[in-house]
Amino acid sequence: MNKIKKTETEWRAELTPEQYHVLREKGTERPFSGEYDHTFDPGTYTCAGCGAELFASDAKYDSGCGWPAFSAPANQEAIEEESDRSHFMRRTEVLCASCGGHLGHVFPDGPHPTGLRYCINSAALKLEEE
């Protein structure tokens, strides 16, 4: 897979301030504030930074946590996971495999059959509706 490399200046010019904060500065949007928190329209969620396909709407569910939640990525190659020990917590960070943008975290308290909850910032996503 071709990795997308851009300078921080280029990212800053292309992204909205909120997208930049989440994707490039590993920010987190306020809970219940995101555009897709309660969206359940059919479609594909792509990366707001590079357009890579990340999650299918089929995998989205209402976790009540305040951010879009998915039980699985569109495919395992679409995302990368890294251990994150910031904020005195042990979490697993989820990144876009194409551009390295920060998406959110994955937690082991999701629904059957994966048991995973991909807790993703709306600002990192763009829904391509079917």
Binding mask 56-95 for Zn ion (x = CB under 5 A): ----------------------------------------
Binding segment for Zn ion among 30-38, 46-54, 66-74, 79-87 (CB under 5 A)? 46-54
DSSP annotation of 112 reads T
What is the CB neighbour count within 10 angstroms for residue 9? 8
Q: What 3-state DSSP class applies to 57?
A: helix
99 belongs to the catalytic site: no
Tell the smallest beta-carbon distance from residue 1 to Zn ion (Å).
11
Half-sphere exposure of 121 (CA within 13 A, CB side): 27
Residues making contact with Zn ion (CB under 5 A): 47, 49-50, 52, 96, 98-99, 101
